[in-house]
Amino acid sequence: MHDCIFCKIVAGDIPAEKLYEDDEVLAFRDIAPQAPVHFLVIPKKHIAGPADVVEADDRLVGKLLRVGAQVAAENGTGGAYRVICNNGSKAGQVVFHIHLHILGGKDRPWPI
């Protein structure tokens, strides 16, 4: 997608503080962190949101969770972190490229 900010990050057109990268997945620090550890995990393939995941994407979406856990452990969460994935603007999705927010590094009250 030519106007997707995350696709531009994947392409290298917009800089990001990368924490993990391979051929399919990228993890990078959130530019407006809500916790001491706050990063995003995205597929390099453009998928607009959770509702747009198709069966062929099952392995890739599972990989997002695995990479999120790995990067969380490498960044001092002590195994305690939240995973947030929004679907649609009414749920708080701002960038329409599926992504996981991984937040940790402090105790978090529920529901926020």
Cite the active site residues: 99
Q: Measured in whole angstroms, how far is the alpha carbon of residue 108 from the centre of its chain?
A: 19
Q: How far apart are CA 86 and CA 59, in angstroms?
A: 19
**Amino acid type, 77:** T
- E strands present in 3-107: 18-21, 25-29, 37-43, 81-84, 100-104
Q: How far apart are CA 66 and CA 30, in angstroms?
A: 18
